[in-house]
Amino acid sequence: MAHPCLSCGACCAHFRVSLHWSEAEPSLGGRVPVELTDSLRAHERVMRGTSQAQPRCIALDADIGRHSRCTIHDRRPAVCAQVPASLEFGDQRSEQCDRSRAAYGLPPLGAADWIGVDDAQRNPLPEY
């Protein structure tokens, strides 16, 4: 069974994705492609498309609730990597996951959504 996020994408089309400017600065080891971001405040950038009334990240390739992938998954902002899906690591719910799924009429993830998803498929929290 595939990771539930691969058939969702709601969080990437519901929240503003703010990041420290250095995450998009190649000379400082930034991984996020700067051309996919916009300036937000003095020390912040935002993923293009997420700072509007109906956000949708420019890096999202998805039909919400059917299929989803981040086109820069290995270079995504730390804030994206730090948000687990509900029940991904046991019995902890993720408020962001539940809220974004509800906004798209999707039910919250349940234990059955994780049957067959092994540890190697789960998104480990990055070391930043």
Q: Would you state the pLDDT for residue 97?
A: 97
Entry pTM: 0.88
CB 96 within 8 A of CB 15: yes
Q: State how far the Cα of 114 lies from the Cα of 122, in Å rounded to an integer.
A: 10
Q: State how far the Cα of 89 lies from the Cα of 72, in Å rounded to an integer.
A: 23
Is 77 domain-assigned? yes
Residue found by looking up tokens 């039910």 in the block: 107
Query: How far, rounded to the nearest angstrom, does the alpha carbon of residue 73 sit from its chain's CA centroid?
Result: 9
Is 72 domain-assigned? yes
Q: What is the pLDDT along the chain (128 residues), one digit of tens a residue?
A: 789 999 999 999 999 999 999 999 988 989 999 999 999 999 999 999 999 999 999 999 999 999 999 999 999 999 998 888 999 988 899 999 999 999 999 999 999 999 988 766 776 554 44
Is 125 domain-assigned? no
Q: Would you state the pLDDT for residue 118?
A: 77
Q: Structural domain tally of the chain? A: 1
Whose CA is closest to 99, among 12, 9, 14, 6? 14
Is 122 domain-assigned? no
Domain of 36, in residue numbers: 4-106
Q: Would you state the pLDDT for residue 128?
A: 42
Is 113 domain-assigned? no
Is 101 domain-assigned? yes
- DSSP one-letter string for 30-46: --S-GGGEEEEETTEEE
Is 128 domain-assigned? no
CB 70 within 8 A of CB 123: no
